[in-house]
Structure 1
Amino acid sequence: MRTPKSFRLHIGLFGRRNVGKSSILNALTSQEVSIVSDVAGTTTDPVEKPMELLPLGPVLFIDTAGIDDVGALGEKRIEKTMAVIDRTDLGIIISNSKDWGDFEEQLLQEFKARQIPAVIVFNKVDLYQARSCMVNSFAGDKLPFIETSATTGFGIPELRQLILKNAPDDFINRPSIVSDLVGPGEAAILVVPIDKEAPKGRLILPQVQSIRDLLDGDSFCMVVKERELREALSRLNKPPKLVVTDSQAFLKVAADTPPEIPLTSFSILFARHQGDLAEMVRGAMAIDQLKSGDKVLIAEACSHHPIGEDIGTVKIPRWLTQYVGGKLQIDHARGHDFPKNVEEYKIIIHCGACMWNRREMLSRLMKARQANVPLTNYGLTIAYSLGIFERALQPFPAALEMFKSLQKSTTLK
């Protein structure tokens, strides 16, 4: 089975038109992935190529349009190129020595500001030699750079090694999803409703990833539907260390799980795994400040046709409306599209982002923070709206303590 994008290191190739970005990609992958032409602007939309880059593992290369594109259409291409930075774990800035200038410096500063590691590539060294002053400057600043010629293959093996060397540590030493909360030799029960939204013949990605993570952590795992939880608990001669539920079944699962057994949801696990749990807990508390008529953005990583009681378009709006006691203005954003006017919203409610890499979720948190708009996720929103927030945070002592402290300070005001 193909490795999901969320588990791939996202490597973005950036630079002006005609510096050889597509040629570099083709050389790195040893395949004709991108169309190569002497005509500037051949690459229009981002081109993705998943592959195995050993010994690192699964990666996703993303070729982009030139950042110096022109015209109205060119501006849209540049927007798409810059949006790729939101999901880039490692940036490759491609230029040639004669053209290095403001475009490249702006990219480099953007990566520095976001703490994204970057590799500088001087391509076409068969035509242009890198200037010694630039080489000395990069060496002095300890910026990784290399000279290549995609057409001859010069420097390509060394570029692969440079990519491996500069891969971010948080990708190589990726934190666990749930196994650290359970421990070796201990058991977790995963509650998985099978309803109209459940994909036929399989489980959704967070459930599959959680099962695999528990197995990797030498933990036991029992998977049940919500109607079977009470019976499953009665059959165990030792209580599980944790119960994890689909957020939509929170109320029933909370009622059937003894209070001494920690309980949370897949979505809350992914708030920690893919984003920043503490910040999203703080974001959920903004639900108390919502008033009738306020604008709310519900963002979802996947693009799918909602059916029945869809969680993002039906259930969460209904629970929020009931909690607030008035009608809210709710907008939706799906896929990589994200509105520029986020400051217009009182709160952003995001899915668990299981289909993305962590970088893209952190980028959205950054944008929300810059606009001073609280951001939380589906599971935290549901738990807060249904009045079981503390119970859902029980497995995360630091987040629970922070919530209680914030709650206390708000009450005192």
Structure 2
Amino acid sequence: MQDTPRGARLHIAIFGRRNAGKSSLINALTNQDIALVSDVPGTTTDPVYKAMEILPLGPVVIIDTAGIDDVGDLGALRVERTRQVLNKTDLAVLVIEPETGITAYEHELAADIRKRSIPIVAVAAKSDLVTPGQVTAAGWSAEIGEPVLPVSAKTGQGIEELKRAIIKNAPDNWEGPPVIGDLLNPGDTAVLVVPIDLAAPKGRLILPQVQTIRDILDHDAYSVVVKERELREALANLRGKPRIVVTDSQEFLKAAADTPDDVWLTSFSILFARYKGDLETLVAGAKAIDKLKPGDKVLIAEGCTHHRQADDIGRVKIPRWLRQTAGGELSFEWVSGGDFPRNLNSFNLIVHCGACMLNRREMLHRLSVARESGVPIVNYGVLIAYVHGILPRALAPFPSARLILDE
């Protein structure tokens, strides 16, 4: 992995009406022609993502969206896609078109952004086209309730000021806790159990493993990486006991057998449950597994699409374990990528992946949707530890989550 993954980048989304200048603004921000620009309204039909760096923020994702005033049946779908982008937006840039100024569309969108507690940076695009006597950014600032920066993608006016405004308004808490670093002291050793099987891309490690290794190094600790068959020997060869053993969830039982009882043991998926969302909510969801009965509906949600293996964890193994727990057949539905149903009331349980491809805000949104629907939600790693009876041990590094399990 050479680049910061999308899920670990600050998400900055550009919103506005059709032909307001959103795509031109993104091209000016990135100094690249990455967004299709045309005088024809509705050129952008689906969200477009561009990874870049804005110092001192670091790695970010810029998202271009379809116009919030699109019309017709297809236009309504595009507007819905645009509004879904808010679920993953850390900072919103609201683009105002100077000819028509602020309309009901901008007011409604700004209210929705504020409701979600997302910082807003408002800009008046195409400032090079403003004519004498026309309402200017100063007037729009009072109307929209946000400072409005005049910018021009054509001349470059205001682009550097916009970058500074983005830096100033970026939220401080968008990243959440470290993956593992706060569990370690400098000089501690963390042993990572990394199976190399058909699901592991040739020549690479999967994303959560790489991010965990990097976080260990960032906190001045030592990382020892072994396959599941080598864990016992690796532990015996260490001069002292490691602080923690982190395993792939599917090797929990073997890792638990080989790890001394006085050494912390958890999984990558449990680490990411905390890093990307809310571990306590997912642990509470695990307790609902015992309440499943034949005929209940279970939603299995994956944050990405990937090649399915013969014994796929989400399609085969987890359904098998849940059927065994429920004592009969269950009704399963699957969603992947950006799809996540709004109406969850018909489900008895949601099982989510580790969310390594989602950013923290989107995962927190999904957890809130589940809570509002009254449906318990658990992730892969927490579920696997629970059905195998080792979740109490896997939660030893996380006392508040362990408390919820014990209640």
TM-score by length of 2: 0.95
Q: Which residue of 2 aligns with 1:130?
A: 136
Q: What are structure 1's unaligned runs of at least 5 residues?
A: 406-413
The percent of aligned pairs where both chains have the same amino acid is: 56
1:206-355 equivalences in 2 (<5 Å) = 206-355=208-357
User: Is 1:154 matched with 2:172?
Assistant: no
Could you report, residue by residue, the CA deviation over 1:22-70 in whole angstroms, capped at 9, with x for unpaired residues? 1111111122111211111111111111111122211111100001101
Q: Secondary structure at the match of 1:259?
A: coil
Maintained 8 Å contact 2:297/2:330: yes
1:155-174 equivalences in 2 (<5 Å) = 155-171=158-174
1:13-412 equivalences in 2 (<5 Å) = 13-96=14-97, 98-125=100-127, 126-127=129-130, 128-130=134-136, 132-137=138-143, 143-171=146-174, 175-405=177-407
Q: Secondary structure at the match of 1:49?
A: strand
Following the alignment from structure 2 to structure 1, what is the Cα–Cα distance between the partners of residues 292 and 332? 12
Q: Secondary structure at the match of 1:66?
A: coil
Could you report, residue by residue, the CA deviation over 1:348-385 in whole angstroms, capped at 9, with x for unpaired residues? 11111112211111111121122111111100011111
Q: Secondary structure at the match of 1:121?
A: strand
Q: Secondary structure at the match of 1:293?
A: coil
Amino acid at match of 2:335: A
Could you report, residue by residue, the CA deviation over 1:71-93 in whole angstroms, capped at 9, with x for unpaired residues? 11101111111111111111111
Following the alignment from structure 1 to structure 2, what is the Cα–Cα distance between the partners of residues 110 and 381? 34
1:259 positional shift: 1.5
Amino acid at match of 1:236: L
Q: Secondary structure at the match of 1:343?
A: coil
Could you report, residue by residue, the CA deviation over 1:205-235 in whole angstroms, capped at 9, with x for unpaired residues? 1001101110111111111111111111222
Following the alignment from structure 1 to structure 2, what is the Cα–Cα distance between the partners of residues 332 and 301? 11
Following the alignment from structure 2 to structure 1, what is the Cα–Cα distance between the partners of residues 204 and 366? 29
Following the alignment from structure 2 to structure 1, what is the Cα–Cα distance between the partners of residues 110 and 299? 31
Following the alignment from structure 2 to structure 1, what is the Cα–Cα distance between the partners of residues 157 and 137? 18
Could you report, residue by residue, the CA deviation over 1:272-305 in whole angstroms, capped at 9, with x for unpaired residues? 0000111111111111221111111111111012
Maintained 8 Å contact 2:101/2:140: no
Task: Count residues with an aligned counterpart.
Answer: 401
Could you report, residue by residue, the CA deviation over 1:326-358 in whole angstroms, capped at 9, with x for unpaired residues? 111111111001123222111111111112211
Maintained 8 Å contact 1:96/1:124: yes
1:133 positional shift: 4.8
1:260 positional shift: 1.3
Following the alignment from structure 2 to structure 1, what is the Cα–Cα distance between the partners of residues 170 and 185? 28
TM-score by length of 1: 0.93
Q: What are structure 2's unaligned runs of at least 5 residues?
A: none
The CA RMSD over aligned residues, in Å, is 1.5
Maintained 8 Å contact 2:21/2:97: no
Following the alignment from structure 1 to structure 2, what is the Cα–Cα distance between the partners of residues 241 and 233? 11
